[in-house]
């Protein structure tokens, strides 16, 4: 028999953020296995920068520092930003990106709960537009492992830009799967023999999953399911995002499989799974109504595909999210549910 009380207390913000960070750990673990310790360095730099900028902004605004600095929100933003950027990017890039995310995208709009745009995606988008060459310098997981580039060498490269004498970055560099697809189609008009490249076989997952990148995406999926099971995120946004991305990529793949990649490729490439469960589910910059979340998630999925395939960037998650952040209040306004006992919608 169910008894009172029937009102439940909201989950404290610190617990929510702790569970989000816990859900990211499987993806981080696979990331480290694939790319080495560089991502740990980036996470530490982003975390320290986020806490420092958060404290400085709170001090300037004459807000108490301890309650906000310990709620975990700045650290989650820092982690999402670091996981979106190349693991061997110069140290100053993650520092500048994090400072922009916390100082401008968060506190300029009033701080926690007031930001119009997703802070992590603002930081990433600014870096992508400002430094496209550096943002496209990714190392190939298999080349990294074969080179024996240890944590100390990766640390040295991040801070000094120098590798051991017998190694150059070009020897370990590789385009991402999304970048390889876009370049191959532009040069040859179709996918051709792209799947013969080692990039698509690392981890021996076959053509449908792009190597180690696919393993990382699967780890984010596991973390996302944990968040849903813990009632930290709603189901509407990630389901709508995944369904829309799969639907549009599936239709075009059926129409022209030589030019358009399969839905599974798009779902498990780039930041799709990270976006589905950790970015588009941001409760502050997204809609709050159930129907609005479905519309919001679906439109982001469509925009991601359009930017990936027809736009100028290999992955379109950041730009798609920021565009739809602008539309979130409008979506909320027109998807309000009916008020109980009234015929019309909520005023």
Q: DSSP string covering 287-340, please?
A: --SHHHHHHHHHHHHHHHHHHHHHSSSS--HHHHHHHHHHHHHHHHHT-PPBPT
Domain definitions of the chain by residue range: 12-173, 213-333
Residue predicted with more confidence, 123 or 311: 123
Count the helix, strand and coil residues of the chain and give each as a percent rounded to the nearest 5. 65, 0, 35
**Res 36: pLDDT:** 85
Give percent of the chain above pLDDT 90: 56
Alpha-carbon torsion (241, 243, 248, 252), positive or negative: positive
**Res 294: pLDDT:** 97
Find out whether 43 and 79 touch, Cβ atoms under 8 Å. yes
Full 3-state SS string of 86-129: CCCCCHHHHHHHHHHHHHHHHHHHCCCCCCCCCHHHHHHHHHHH
Find out whether 290 and 231 touch, Cβ atoms under 8 Å. no
Q: How confident is the model at residue 280 (pLDDT cuts 50, 70, 90)?
A: very high
Alpha-carbon torsion (331, 313, 264, 224), positive or negative: negative
DSSP class of residue 275 equals: I
**Of 79-88, 99-108, 146-155, minimum mean pLDDT range:** 146-155
**Quick one: average pLDDT of 217-222?**
95
Residue predicted with more confidence, 179 or 63: 63
**Res 249: pLDDT:** 93
**Res 191: pLDDT:** 62
Find out whether 202 and 142 touch, Cβ atoms under 8 Å. yes
Of 136, 140, 105, the C-alpha closest to 312 is 136
Residue predicted with more confidence, 53 or 2: 53
Find out whether 17 and 73 touch, Cβ atoms under 8 Å. yes
Cα distance between residue 66 and residue 47, in whole Å: 16
What are the pLDDT digits (tens) for 51-101? 999 999 999 999 999 888 999 999 999 999 999 999 989 999 999 999 999
pLDDT above 70: residue 257: yes
């Amino acid at each position: 028999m169910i008894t009172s009380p029937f009102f439940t207390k909201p989950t404290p913000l610190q617990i929510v953020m702790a569970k989000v960070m816990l859900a990211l750990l499987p993806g981080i673990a696979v990331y480290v296995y694939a790319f080495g310790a560089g991502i740990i360095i980036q996470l530490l730099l982003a975390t320290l920068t986020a806490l420092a900028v958060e404290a400085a902004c709170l001090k300037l605004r004459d807000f108490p520092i301890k309650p906000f600095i310990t709620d975990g929100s700045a650290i989650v933003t820092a982690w999402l930003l670091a996981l979106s950027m190349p693991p061997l990017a110069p140290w100053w890039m993650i520092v500048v990106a994090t400072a922009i995310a916390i100082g401008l995208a968060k506190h300029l709009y009033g701080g926690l709960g007031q930001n119009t745009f997703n802070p992590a995606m603002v930081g990433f988008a600014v870096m992508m537009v400002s430094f496209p060459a550096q943002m496209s310098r990714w190392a190939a997981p298999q080349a990294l492992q074969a080179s024996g580039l240890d944590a100390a060498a990766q640390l040295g490269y991040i801070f000094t830009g120098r590798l051991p004498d017998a190694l150059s970055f070009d020897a370990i560099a590789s385009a991402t799967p999304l970048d390889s697809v876009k370049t191959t189609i532009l040069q040859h008009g179709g996918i051709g023999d792209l799947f013969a490249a080692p990039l698509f076989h690392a981890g021996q997952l076959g053509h449908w999953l792009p190597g180690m990148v696919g393993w990382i995406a699967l780890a984010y999926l596991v973390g996302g399911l944990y968040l849903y099971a813990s009632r930290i995120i709603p189901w509407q946004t990630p389901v709508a995002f995944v369904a829309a991305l799969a639907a549009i990529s599936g239709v075009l793949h059926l129409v022209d499989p030589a030019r358009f990649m399969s839905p599974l490729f798009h779902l498990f490439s780039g930041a799709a799974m990270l976006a589905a469960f950790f970015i588009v589910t941001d409760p502050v910059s997204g809609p709050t109504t159930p129907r609005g979340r479905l519309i919001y998630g679906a439109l982001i999925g469509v925009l991601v595909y359009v930017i990936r395939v027809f736009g100028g960037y290999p992955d379109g998650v950041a730009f798609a999210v920021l565009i739809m952040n602008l539309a979130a209040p409008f979506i909320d306004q027109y998807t309000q549910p009916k008020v109980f006992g009234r015929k019309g919608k909520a005023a």
